[in-house]
Amino acid sequence: MPNSETQIQKKPPWLKVKLPSHKNFFYVAHLLKEKNLHTICQSAKCPNISYCWTAKTATFLILGDICTRNCAFCSVKKGRPQHPDRREPQRVAEAAASMGLKYVVVTSVTRDDLLDGGAFLFVSTILTLKKRLPGVKVEVLIPDFKGKIEALKRVIEAEPEIINHNLEVPFSLYPKINRPEKNYYRSLNILKRSKEMGAITKSGLMVGLGETKDDIIQALADLQKVGCELLTIGQYLQPTKFNAAVHKYYSPQEFMELKEIAFHYGFKEVEAGPLVRSSYKAHKMYESYCLQSH
């Protein structure tokens, strides 16, 4: 974790994105504001926000927008969060209906202040979406719920189509991102237990924080050992000068190589690229996985 301000490196040309201009982008922005909803698109300063909102899709952020952890890579607000809003799931469902979504991705801040880590609101959101939008598919990008398997079990019993939980970086980089090394194994266990309970599991890695190729390969092997089938790999981008600095910008060709390695390790679906994020083409990954499975 940086102890002082760090200089943001100039980005290579393949990381340039267009500014929003389509009416759909502004429609989604207005809708989210009207419903008093948060998205990880905004909170994490996602580079794909213009692309996704223009396509009238977004990744909803529940349990407020203040995280109880302080990961060095993340721009989500940190501090003491407010009490969870039990009306939030209904507003998420209303927004998803207004946007015409058939595949909804829901994530959250980490809430270590709550006994179940906020699992109860994931359950409520999944059930509310499925009731409001019959036939909708729901992917949840969950925190680790402090390792509480009973909380995880309740979320899985609500029957989301995908349980996504990010490993984020290889084991050797956990101290650099201000995470205890034990949390790496906790995250692997969340994925392992999810798979054992019948869920389709997905995870994500960021690169560019100083990892070696061997570090990445070890993370892929660890994810495969716990049965993870879907994977995203994207470039870490320093969101503010107060976050961890970028060590390296991977080229599109290097991402293609990482994708091939991941397939070699047995992942069923892989998205890898400079602008790939956890929910990047999420619905297409799910549909492709389903086609393979049948």
Contact assessment for residue 255 and residue 275, using Cβ atoms and an 8 Å cutoff: no
Whether domain 13-293 has CATH 3.30.420.10: no
Summarize pLDDT for 9-51 with one digit per residue, the tens.
678 888 877 766 688 888 888 899 999 999 887 766 777 777 6
Could you tell me the two tokens for 99? Answer: 């946007």
Identify the sign of the CA torsion 169, 170, 173, 178: positive
Question: Could you tell me the pLDDT band of residue 4, with boundaries at 50, 70 and 90?
Answer: very low
User: Residue 266: what are its φ and ψ, rounded to 5°?
Assistant: 105, 5
User: Does 5 have pLDDT greater than 60?
Assistant: no
Question: Could you tell me the pLDDT band of residue 292, with boundaries at 50, 70 and 90?
Answer: confident
pLDDT, position 191: 98
H and E: helices and strands count for the chain = 10, 10
pLDDT, position 86: 96
Global confidence as pTM? 0.93
User: Does 205 have pLDDT greater than 70?
Assistant: yes
> Rounded to the nearest 5 degrees, what angle is found at the Cα of 229, between the Cα atoms of 226 and 234?
105
Summarize pLDDT for 145-187 with one digit per residue, the tens.
999 999 999 999 999 999 999 999 999 999 999 999 999 999 9
Beta bridge partners of 107: 61, 141
Summarize pLDDT for 109-124 with one digit per residue, the tens.
999 999 999 999 999 9
Contact assessment for residue 220 and residue 261, using Cβ atoms and an 8 Å cutoff: yes
pLDDT over 90 percentage in the chain: 77
pLDDT, position 53: 78
pLDDT mean across residues, the chain? 92
pLDDT, position 223: 98
Tell me the CA end-to-end span of the chain in Å, nearest whole number. 45
Specify the pairing of strand 162-164 against strand 201-207: parallel
Contact assessment for residue 202 and residue 229, using Cβ atoms and an 8 Å cutoff: yes
pLDDT, position 52: 82
Question: Could you tell me the pLDDT band of residue 283, with boundaries at 50, 70 and 90?
Answer: very high
Contact assessment for residue 63 and residue 84, using Cβ atoms and an 8 Å cutoff: yes
Interatomic CA distance for residues 278 and 205, integer angstroms: 8
Mean pLDDT score, 72-95 = 93
Beta bridge partners of 162: 139
pLDDT, position 8: 60
pLDDT, position 196: 98
pLDDT, position 269: 97
Position of tokens 């879907």? 230
Domain spans of the chain? 13-293
Interatomic CA distance for residues 17 and 48, integer angstroms: 8
Q: Which is more confident, 239 or 126?
A: 126
